[in-house]
Amino acid sequence: MSADVFVLVEHRDGAVVEGTFELLGRARELAAAAGGEAVALLAGSGVDGLVGQLGAAGRVVVVDDPSLAEFTPTGWLAALAPIVRDRAPLLVLATNSGVGMDVAAGLSIAAGLPLAAYATAVELDDGSPLVTCQLYAGKVDVRVRFAGGRGIVTVVAGAYPVDAGRASGSPTIERLAPAATDNRVRFRRLIRPEAGDVDITRESVLVSVGRGIGEADNIALVEELAAALGGAVSSSRPVADSGWLPRTRQVGKSGLRVKPKLYLALGISGAPEHLEGMRDAGLIIAVNTDPRAPIFGVAHYGAVADLLDVVPALTKRLAG
Amino acid sequence: MDLVVLCKQVPDLAEELEIDSAGTDLDREWLNEVASEWDEYALEEALRLRDAVGGTVTCLALDTGSVDELLATCLARGADRAVKVGSFDERPDSHTAARAFATAVAGLAHDLVLTGVQAIDDLDGQVGPLLAATMGLPHVSVVTHIALSADGSTATVNQEYSGGVVAEFEVDLPAVLGVQTSQEAPRYAPVSRVRQLMKTAEMDAVDVAVDGGSGLVVEAMSIPEVGGRAEMIEGSPDAIAERLASLIRERGLVAGGVR
């Protein structure tokens, strides 16, 4: 048992992902308060370049093996579970991504540690972890403790600033061979999206639509508003899933992160996955029929109304 | 190909959520429940795969006393069999659900177990990877595409990351997959058919031991202040549009101003 705070390192294309840096920065603070070390837990192959990015950690525990070069749920879990089980850290932090979800749940069972998901804050209260989780699409906050005082947390993106996790330093490097391998899931390739007609990450004005748009035919209404504003149309996940707009227009966790000067969120409730992609926009205006929609928690201005009523009226005023 | 789909109900977010008097759970007395959205994608994928290669689709739900409509809807959409698992007085946490489903799935033919990648109430993690770890099966979450090999021994699946990047994996079966979305929108089940099946369909039941818990202690549940940040604009759609137009113009955010 230790007072260490472990961070599962997620990496892709030779780069540590942003979410991992957010966790590393927080792990440093928590470990300092608990009297332990911030430990980066890294599975990979030929990982010197990655280790060099983890200066914010006090220690980097590396499991280096050709079979671990790319993330696979079974391979990484087999390599990392024995370490977590043996060392019994105070906390294991993972990003709330596909990688984090796969590994954290597996570790919870393998190491017999409880798991708290969708965390927006991880604190220590008298040395014992206190985690705030966001449930019901961001409509409810839950504060939880671990019965045994230690556990695993998957943390949503944006919960902590990324800069502290990019700090340089000279962590202790500890190299291990994998205690076990499991190749029942095999990595084949990464598929990147084809470039779209519009790069929404470069637009200054985004008119973004969600479920509230109702049907495909109504997309024309927001296209007109975007034209009047000299901006582009983007969307939340359901609109892209329905095929009403190309996937390249999707904002959020599984889409793109955008930071326009103006973000109009129309008929978007503001699930955490969406907020992750747009909360840093300069001016956020939300129109939604649900007065309790979480989007109003991040918007600067809001109106409880049907976008189908407001949009034509707004276009008329802005055009010409 | 024997496909198993794990289904559950969650509170309907179209309605206002309230916290109970103890402050540690939702007030469930008047809560309306709906099928968990991602489970519906999982069922749709299972039906699509069965229709393509043959086999069976069995839908499982933990019996919390109100799952008849959920399972009847699965049957109405085309599932071959519905099974109620255990008997639960309270809504089980994900770890308890995973243990209960593990017992039930072990007693069924299962080449592929599909469930929603997440649910809106997964406080202690997602059921799919917990089930897989409990059963010692491989698992992939955030799956957006599933294709089966000709001999049915493996599946090729896509796992979605941010920025639209996906990894393609080959997975040995049997396996558990957490489905993010289906290739087609979930097929429609006529309400009349669901009502009829609720009366006539034979649903199986399996007993499971209910024990354990999640190891989490809920200290407090609260509804965050929404609109705490946004300045709300009242009035008719025209009045709202008028105010928004001036806000946007004042900041020079109209065409040409910022490009």
User: Of the given ranges (A182-186, A275-279, B7-11, B98-102), which has the lowest mean pLDDT?
Assistant: A275-279
Integer Rg of chain B from CA: 22
Res B46: pLDDT? 98
Residue A78 structure tokens: 């087999």
The residues spanned by each domain of chain A are: 5-176, 200-318
> What angle do the packed helices B68-77 and B191-200 form, to 10 degrees?
120
Res B259: pLDDT? 36
Per-residue pLDDT 10s for chain B (259 aa) are 999 999 999 999 988 899 999 999 999 888 999 999 999 999 999 999 999 999 999 999 999 998 999 999 999 999 999 999 999 988 899 999 999 999 999 999 999 999 999 999 999 999 999 999 999 999 999 999 999 999 999 999 999 988 778 999 999 999 999 999 999 989 999 999 999 999 999 999 999 987 789 999 999 999 987 656 889 999 999 999 999 999 999 888 886 444 3
Is A200-318 the same fold as A5-176? yes
Answer yes or no: is B164 within a domain. Answer: yes
Is the pLDDT confidence value at A283 over 70?
yes
Nearest alpha carbon to residue B165 among A167, A236, A215, A71 = A71
Across the interface, whether the CB atoms of B167 and A109 are under 8 A apart is answered no
Res B162: pLDDT? 82
Answer yes or no: is B232 within a domain. Answer: no
Res A292: pLDDT? 87
> What angle do the packed helices A98-111 and B127-135 form, to 10 degrees?
40
Count of domains observed in chain B: 1
Which of A91, A203, A314 should we substitute to test contact with B (largest number of B Cβ atoms within 10 Å)?
A314
Query: CB-CB: which of B140, B181, B234 is closest to A102?
Result: B140
Q: Which CATH superfamily is domain A5-176 in?
A: HUPs (3.40.50.620)
Which of B173, B181, B253, B259 should we substitute to test contact with A (largest number of A Cβ atoms within 10 Å)?
B253
A110 contacts on B by Cβ (under 8 Å)? 133
CATH number of the domain that B73 lies in?
A: 3.40.50.620
Average the pLDDT over A247-275 and give the result: 92
Note whether A306 and A212 are within 8 A (CB). yes
Answer yes or no: is B246 within a domain. Answer: no
Q: Does domain A200-318 have CATH number 3.40.50.1220?
A: yes
Alpha-carbon span A113 to A105, nearest angstrom: 9
Across the interface, whether the CB atoms of B223 and A140 are under 8 A apart is answered yes
Average the pLDDT over A148-168 and give the result: 94
Tell me which amino acid residue B52 is. A
A286 contacts on B by Cβ (under 8 Å)? 230
Answer yes or no: is B256 within a domain. Answer: no
Q: Which domain holds residue B65?
A: 2-206
Across the interface, whether the CB atoms of B141 and A113 are under 8 A apart is answered no
Residue B11 structure tokens: 């509170």
